[in-house]
Structure 1
Amino acid sequence: MLKAISLFTGAGGLDLGFEAAGFKTCVAVEIDPICCETLRSNRRWPVIEGDVAAISSQRILKTAALKSGEADVLIGGPPCQPFSKSGYWANGDAPRLKDPNAGTLNEYLRVVRDTKPKAILLENVYGLAYDGKSEGLKRILNGIKKINREAKTNYVPSWTVLDAASFGVPQRRERVFIIASRDGREFKFPEPTHADGSLQELPAGIKPFHTTWDALGDLAALPDNPDLQLTGKWAGLLPSIPEGQNYLWHTPRGGGMPLFGWRTRYWSFLLKLAKDKPSWTIQAQPGPATGPFHWSSRKLSARELARLQTFPDDFKFDCDRAQVQRMVGNAVPSLLAEVLAREIRRQLLDSPMRSKKLKLLPPRRRGIPPQHAAEPVRASYMSLKGAHADHPGPSLGPRAKLRTLELAD
C-alpha cells in the first residue's frame, strides 16, 4: 500500500477515503483525546496524541517508520475556525491569521518541509479563499514557495473549491483543497460526476446527486429515541416545517405563517432534510435549533451522521451523540477523499487503481417514500404571527449597526 502521513486527523474522514484508494496511514497526529480513542478502536494506525506544534517532524517520521522523502502523501485539514463562515455570521468578520488557531497552517507547512512527501493535500473551509479575505490561502501558497527554496523541492500547488455532492456524496459541502506534487507535476482536479437533476436535463455522463434517502433509507426510523429529541425554545415549531424547508417557510414569502422576517435568521435555523435531495452541510457544534434535522423532526443519529459523511459502516463510535456530531461535522466526506486519492495516485504517483468502482459511493435506493406531512403551528407560537421586516441587506443588519456604533465610540 502507498504510505500516508496524516496531520489534524480528527475522526479520520480523509484517511478513510485514502484507505479506500489503497493508502495506509503510517502515522496520524491528533490533539483531541476522543478522536484519538476513536481512531485507535477502529484502525491500527499509529496515533500520536498531542498538539502538532509540540511534536517534532523527526518524531512523526520515526513513528511512521519513514525517512524524509519516503511518504507518498501528506494529508490534513488544519482547524478551520479562523476562516469559517459561522465566524463571519457571528462577528461580521473573523480574525483569520490573527487568530491563534491559524498557526496550524504554519505547522502543516513545517511538516511538509521536513518530511518532503511526494504529494500533499490540504483541506480547509470555503472561507479560506473568500475574495478579499484570502490571507490564509496566500500564506499557504507563499509558504510552499519558501519550502521549495529551502528544501530544494518543486511543489506546484493547484487549488479549487469542491462541493462534495458533485462527486456522489449525499451532502452539499463546499471546501477548499490544495494539492501539489514534489516533482512539479501539475495536478488537475477531477470534473464533477453528479449534478442536480431536478432543475435541468443532465449532460451525458453526469448522474443525479445522491440523496439523503440513498444514504439513510435502510436505517431504522428511531422515532422514540430520547437522545434524538429536540430541546429548547423552537423544538415545537420544527414539525410544522415541511421536508427540505427551514424557518423561511414561516415568513411572508414562504408557504406557512408569517412568524419571522425574510432572511433574518441563519440558513440552518430549523432546517429539515428532504428525502429526494442531498443533505445540507453537517455542522460540528450546532445550536439546539440548528439543522439539518431528520425529515421526521428529530436530530440525526450517530450512524446517520456518519452515512451522510460517507464513513464506512465498519467505523464505530463509542461516545455520546454530541461528540460524534463534533467529530463527523469536522471531517472531510470520505468518498470525496477517495476520489481525490485516486487522482493523486493516477496523476502524481504513477500508480492508477485497476478498478474504477468507488468503494464508498452510496447505493441508489428506489421507491422514495412521500414527504412527511407538516403539522399545524402550535398555539404557543401564535404570538409571533404578524408583520415582520425583511433583513435590510448585507452590512445593514442589527449586528452591523452595533459594530458601527462601537467604532464611532
Structure 2
Amino acid sequence: MRSISLFSGCGGLDLGLHEAGFKTVLASDSEKLCAATWRQGMPSTPFLVGRIGTLTRAEIIAALGGKIGEIDLVAGGPPCPPFSKSRFYRKDMPRALEDPNGWETINGYLSMLDWVRPRAFILENVKGLAYKVHSSALETIIERAEKLGYNVSTGVLNAADFGVAQIRERCFVVGSLDAKVTLPLPTHSREPKSGLLPWVNTGEVLHDLDTEENAGDEGHFAGGQHHDLLRQVPPGDNYLYFTEKRGHPSPRFKWRGRYWSFLLKLSPDLPSWTIQARRSNNMGPFHWRNRILRISEIKRLQTFPDEFELAGTIEQQWRQIGNAVPPMLAAAVGRSVAEAIGAELRDAA
C-alpha cells in the first residue's frame, strides 16, 4: 500500500506504517537535516524539503515520477507547539489556528488530501489538539475532511497502552473514503486485566545499555547547579520531593513552582514519561543513575531500532527522536487503517 509522509521528521510514524504494510513513496519536511536522516535509512524514498505551505501539486507529481497514481494513505504529524500545553502559559503567543504556523501546517495537510485523494489518512498531534480550548481547530479538520468524502474518527492514544515503555498521549485523527477506521484497542495496561499485558517498564528496555563499561561516560551530566539535589530525588519522582507540601524537612522549591519535568527521574520499575524534543541538563526525564539519557536509550524508549541512524549533532538527533511518533504505536494505528482499507477491497470484490 502506497503512502505519502508529511512532516516526516526522522520517520518514526513511517517506520511503524511500514510494519503495518505500507510503503512510503514520498516524504517531506521543512528541515534539511531530516532529509539527511532519510538518506541514511531510507535512501530510495524521494524527499521534498520545504514548508508545506510552499509545496505545490506540480512538485508532488514530479517527485512521484510524473503521476500521482493511487495513494492509499497520507500520514503526518503537523508541528505541535500551537496546540501544546505550554501555550496555555504563553498568553503573549497565539494558539491553534490563530497561530500562522498552525494554520499553514493544518491547511497544508488538508490541501494535500484534496490534491492526492488518498483512500485514508492519519493526522497525529499532541493531546492538546483534543482540548476544548482547541475545539475549533479539531472541528475544522473534521469538517474539511468530511467535505472531501472521508469518514473521520478521532481519539487520544497512550503509547504505553501499546507496548511502548513511555507514557506518551497523542491525538489521532483518522479517516477513510469508505469504511470507517476504528482506532486500535490497547494491548497493555497500568493495571492489567481482561487479557491485557502490563505496561513495559524502562528497566526492561534499558538494562543492557547501562553497563559498568559505560557507566562513567562523560557528556551526560544532569541537573546543572542542582545536580546534588537530583541525586537525592528518589527514582520516579521530581523536584516536588523538595517541597513543604511533600513534607521535606528543608524545602527548596514551591509546590508547582517549576515545570513537571524539572529534576524528573526515571524509575526502572515504571514506564518513562514523555521524551521531549529538547535535550536539557535540568528538565528530564533523567536516568535513575542521575544522568542525561543517551541517544541509544531514547531510541529504545521510543521503540526505534538500535541500528537506526540519525544525522546531526547529539542535540539535533535528540530533537528528531523526541518529535517522532513511536514506531510501535504507529504500527498499531497503521494496522487499523489497513484493516479498514482491506474491508473496502472486500466490499469492492
Q: Given the two structures, how large is their TM-score scaled by the length of structure 2? A: 0.92
Contact 1:17 1:335 in 2 (8 A): yes
Structure 1 residues 351 and 210, CA, compared in 2 at 3 Å: closer, same or farther?
Answer: farther
SS at match of 1:237: helix
Which residue in 2 is equivalent to 1:380? none
Code of the aligned partner of 1:143: R
CA contact (8 A) 2:146 2:152 kept: no
Distance 1:351 1:325 in 2: 39
Q: Match for residue 125 of structure 2?
A: 124
Contact 2:8 2:27 in 1 (8 A): yes
Contact 1:129 1:136 in 2 (8 A): no
Q: Which residue in 2 is equivalent to 1:358?
A: none
2:192 matched to 1:191? no
In structure 2, how many angstroms separate the alpha carbons of the residues matched to 1:212 and 1:255? 28
Counterpart of 1:98? 98
What letter matches 1:230 in structure 2?
A
Corresponding position of 1:33? 32
* In 2, Cα distance between equivalents of 1:43 and 1:68: 20
Q: Is the 8 A contact 1:157 1:179 kept in 2?
A: yes
Partner of 1:172: 167
Q: Deviations over 1:294-350 (max 9, x none)?
A: 111111111111111111222112432211211111111110001111111112234
Where does residue 73 of structure 2 map in the other structure? 73
Q: 1:243 aligns with which of 235, 238, 245?
A: 235
Q: Which residue of 2 aligns with 1:362?
A: none
CA distance in 1, matches of 2:11, 2:180: 27
Paired residues for 1:2-401 under 5 Å: 2-44=1-43, 45-65=45-65, 67-68=67-68, 70-91=70-91, 94-102=94-102, 103-146=104-147, 148=148, 154-183=149-178, 185-197=179-191, 202-221=192-211, 222-230=214-222, 232-254=224-246, 256=248, 257-350=250-343
C-alpha root-mean-square deviation of aligned residues, in Å?
2.0
Alignment partners' CA distance in 1, 2:54 and 2:30: 10
Shift of 1:242: 1.0
Counterpart amino acid of residue 323 in structure 1: Q
Distance 2:66 2:161 in 1: 35
Please state how far the C-alpha of 1:278 moved relative to its aligned partner.
0.6
Corresponding residue number in structure 2 for 1:376 = none
The alpha carbon displacement at 1:144 in A equals 1.2
- How far apart are the structure 1 equivalents of 2:228 and 2:137? 41
Which residue identity is paired with 2:185? E
Query: Deviations along 1:245-287, whole A, 9 cap, x unmatched?
Result: 0011111233644211222221111100010111000111254
Q: Distance in 2 between matches of 1:328 and 1:347?
A: 29
Bigger radius of gyration: 1
Contact 1:128 1:135 in 2 (8 A): no
Shift of 1:133: 2.7
Is the Cα contact below 8 Å between 1:61 and 1:115 reproduced in 2? no
Distance 1:255 1:239 in 2: 18
What CA deviation, in whole Å up to 9, does each residue of 1:348-400 have, x standing for no partner?
A: 23499xxxxxxxxxxxxxxxxxxxxxxxxxxxxxxxxxxxxxxxxxxxxxxxx
Please list every run of 5 or more consecutive structure 1 residues that lacks an aligned counterpart in the other structure: 149-153, 353-409
TM-score computed with the length of structure 1 as normaliser? 0.79
Identity of aligned residues (%): 42
Query: 1:133/1:328 Cα in 2 relative to 1: closer, same or farther (>3 Å)?
Result: same
Question: Displacement of 1:220 after TM fit?
Answer: 3.5
Measure, in 2, the Cα distance between the counterparts of 1:255 and 1:33. Answer: 50
Counterpart of 1:393?
Answer: none
AA matched with 1:234: H
For 1:129 and 1:270, how far apart are their aligned partners in 2?
Answer: 28
3-state SS of the aligned residue for 1:349? helix
Superposed CA deviations along residues 157-178 of structure 1, whole A, max 9, x for unmatched, are: 1000111101111100111101
How far is 1:55 from its partner? 1.5
Q: Which moved more, 1:282-291 or 1:307-316?
A: 282-291
The alignment covers a number of residue pairs equal to 340
